[in-house]
Amino acid sequence: MERSKKPSAIPVSPTIPTPQVSISDDNSRVTASLPTGESVEVLLFGATVLSWKTAKGKENLFVSSKAHLDGSKAVRGGIPLVFPNFGPSSNKATEGLPQHGFARTTKWEYLGKSSSESSTLPNSSGDSSVKLDFGLSNTMLDKIPSEWKNYQFGITYSVTLGRDDLETSLAIRNTGEKDFEFQTLLHSYWAVDNISDVSVSGLEKISFADKVGGGKEEESGAITVSSEVDRVYHVDPSQGIAISEKDKPRFDFTRDMLPDVVVWNPWIEKSRTMSDLAPEDAYKRFICVETGSVNWNTLEAGDTWEGGQRIKAL
Ligand SMILES: O=P(O)(O)OC[C@H]1O[C@H](O)[C@H](O)[C@@H](O)[C@@H]1O
């Protein structure tokens, strides 16, 4: 007998595309992409972000064609992490530490992903961001530098890929019983078409430590590059910073708890001394604007320090 009221079929909701995350077969890299096409790639060695591309496939980070990606040396390009010291080992706290510390030359652990809630709006292209977490602790160091044998720490580094931005943030915990001091920087190599067309704004009239000429200087206009530049600025995190090319905004920086900014380009002569920087005119293709804390932070036993940056690609 025909039923007069047939139960209607339960509508199947259309599949909402979600971010894709994959780990390379050799467990050396993690790649994530959004349904809209943006992507990010992180090398577990140093938790170095190697690539950040827009939906149209434009690369936002510079990586040298001679960069070592096999774990034999810090990567020349992308976003290497500076921790626990910036520059060469220079005092008791940094005794035995390599230039820019050990975080960029140690293999990190991939801790997992999370993504923001899917939009239920019609025509939505799915989740709008995906966060990848990486971890490093003192037990993972191959060789513990002498002074650091006394300290214990756990770091979570989060890389969040959004529709038009990338967030990289650090949570550093002192898991031991002794206080320690550290510096840290997100040593980012931003890709540009030609350094001669680049300007960095937001640092005008702020005094900087000049690592090339020595001493303290300040400049009234935006920074342009026509020789080696290596400067350390101390500037309130609420101050916005931007990189422009041919006067068109290219990258916009928002900082959280990162009061220092290093601006670096090696120019011609210094580039020639760097065996892992290629091609020959590579210095034209990037500018390092590195946000972080060059001032030493004291992290007391049991405490956590947090800081990060959000970069909008324009
Ligand atoms: O060659 P690296 O150890 O990677 O350092 C590269 C550069 O890093 C920072 O930007 C420093 O301010 C520079 O003085 C240094 O030359």
d(Cα 24, Cα 116) in Å, to the nearest integer? 24
CA of 121 to the centre of ligand 1 (A): 46
**Average pLDDT of the residues in 262-268:** 98
List Cβ neighbours of 101 (8 Å cut-off, separation of 6 or more).
82, 83, 84, 85, 86, 183
The full set of domains in the chain, from first to last, is 19-116+127-187 (2.70.98.10), 192-297 (2.70.98.10)
- Give yes or no for residue 273 having a pLDDT over 70: yes
Q: Kindly tell me if the per-residue pLDDT of 232 is higher than 60.
A: yes
Q: What are the C-alpha distances in Å from 133 to residues 140, 171, 254?
A: 16, 11, 20
- Percent of the chain at pLDDT > 70 equals 91
Is 187 annotated in the active site?
yes
Under 8 Å between Cβ of 307 and 258:
yes
Does residue 122 register a pLDDT over 60? no
Question: Does ligand 1 come within 6 angstroms of the Cβ of 250?
Answer: no
120: pLDDT strictly greater than 80: no
Quickly list H helices, 197-299: 267-272
Annotated catalytic, 100?
no
Question: Ligand 1 pocket: which of 73, 225, 264 to mutate (most atoms <8 Å of CB)?
Answer: 264
159: confidence class by pLDDT, cuts 50, 70, 90: very high
**Nearest ligand 1 atom, CA 100:** 3
Q: What is the pLDDT of residue 92?
A: 67
Q: Report the pLDDT value the prediction gives residue 269, as an integer from 0 to 100.
A: 97
Residue type (1 letter), 84: P
